[in-house]
Structure 1
Amino acid sequence: MEYYTSDSCDSDTREQKTLDLTSQFIDTETFASELRSVVDEKDCAENYEIILLNHNRITSLPETINRFCNLKILDVSNNRLTSLPDILKNCPLTSLIAKHNQLTNESLPKCFSSSKNTIKELNLSGNQMNFFPEQVLELKSLKYLYLGGNQIQKIPKEIRKLSSLQILSLGGNQITEVPESVGRLTSLQALVLSDNYIEQLPASIADLNQLRSLLLHKNRLKTLPTQIIRLKCLTELSLRDNPLVVRFVRDMTLQPPSLLELAGRTIKLHDVPVLPGEVPLTLLRYLGAAQCCVNPKCKGVFFDNRVEHIKFVDFCGKYRIPLLQYLCSSKCIIGSWESREENTNPHPHMMRKVLLG
Structure 2
Amino acid sequence: MMKQDAESVKAPGKDSLHQLHKSQHFWNSDSIYKDQSKILETYCELAMLECLVHGGHALSLKAYFISKLPDLSPLYDTLFYLNLSFNEFRQFPTEVYRLEHLEFLKFRNNPIRDIPFGIHNLKKLRTLIVSFCSLSSLPDGVFLLPYLQALDVSYNNLTSLSNDISNLRALEFLNVEGNSLPALPCGALKLKLKQLRVSNNHMHPLFWGENTHIQPQSLLDLAAMAFAKKSLFLYYADIPSEAKEILQKVKVCDCCRGALSGEGLRFIRPCEKIFGIRKLPFMFHTCSPSCYKSFMSQTESLTKHLYES
User: Would you call these one fold, judging by a TM-score over 0.5?
Assistant: yes
Distance 1:135 1:262, change over 3 A: same
- Match of residue 39 from structure 1: none
1:174-220 deviation line (CA, Å, top 9, x unaligned): 22211122111111111111122211112221111101111111111
Of 75, 94, 98, the match for 2:57: 94
1:319-349 deviation line (CA, Å, top 9, x unaligned): 212211112234654x4752543xx42437x
1:45-104 deviation line (CA, Å, top 9, x unaligned): xxxxxxxxxxxx9xxxxxxxxxxxxxxxxxxxxxxx7231299389351111232x3331
Structure 1 gaps of 5+ residues are 1-17, 35-56, 58-80, 349-357
Of 285, 292, 304, the match for 2:262: 304
How many Å separate the matches in 1 of 2:13 and 2:155?
33
How many Å separate the matches in 1 of 2:294 and 2:164?
30
Structure 2 gaps of 5+ residues are 1-9, 28-38, 305-309
Query: May I ask how many residue pairs the two structures share in their alignment?
Result: 274
8 A Cα contact 2:58 2:80, kept in partner: yes
Letter in 1 for 2:287: C
1:150-195 deviation line (CA, Å, top 9, x unaligned): 2222222211111111111111222221112211111111111112
- Match of residue 160 from structure 2: 200
8 A Cα contact 1:180 1:203, kept in partner: no
| Alpha-carbon distance, 1:118 to partner | 1.6
8 A Cα contact 1:104 1:130, kept in partner: no
Q: Does 1:178 align with 2:138?
A: yes
Letter in 2 for 1:240: S
- Match of residue 72 from structure 2: 112
- Match of residue 6 from structure 2: none
Q: 1:249-328 to 2 correspondence within 5 Å?
A: 249-250=208-209, 251-252=212-213, 254=215, 257-259=218-220, 261-269=221-229, 271=230, 274-275=233-234, 278-280=237-239, 290-294=250-254, 301-304=259-262, 306-316=264-274, 319-328=278-287
Distance 1:315 1:113, change over 3 A: farther
Q: Does 1:103 align with 2:65?
A: yes
1:284-341 deviation line (CA, Å, top 9, x unaligned): 7865764454555xx96432251211111122475212211112234654x4752543
Question: 2:234 aligns to what SS in structure 1?
Answer: coil
Letter in 2 for 1:159: I
- Match of residue 3 from structure 1: none
Distance 1:273 1:235, change over 3 A: same
Letter in 2 for 1:252: H
Distance 1:340 1:208, change over 3 A: closer
How many Å separate the matches in 2 of 1:161 and 1:22?
29
Letter in 1 for 2:296: E
8 A Cα contact 2:182 2:207, kept in partner: no
How many Å separate the matches in 1 of 2:16 and 2:47?
24
C-alpha RMSD of the superposition: 3.7
8 A Cα contact 1:311 1:323, kept in partner: yes
- Match of residue 130 from structure 1: 90
| Alpha-carbon distance, 1:266 to partner | 2.9
| Alpha-carbon distance, 1:273 to partner | 5.4
How many Å separate the matches in 2 of 1:207 and 1:180?
10
1:10-50 deviation line (CA, Å, top 9, x unaligned): xxxxxxxx9x999689566414359xxxxxxxxxxxxxxxx
- Match of residue 113 from structure 2: 153
How many Å separate the matches in 2 of 1:255 and 1:346?
25
Q: Does 1:191 align with 2:151?
A: yes
Letter in 1 for 2:191: L
- Match of residue 301 from structure 2: 345
How many Å separate the matches in 2 of 1:228 and 1:330?
23
- Match of residue 220 from structure 1: 180
8 A Cα contact 2:77 2:99, kept in partner: no
- Say which one has the larger Rg: 1
How many Å separate the matches in 2 of 1:337 and 1:87?
56
TM-score normalised to structure 2 length? 0.73
Between Structure 1 and Structure 2, which shows a larger proportion of helix residues?
2
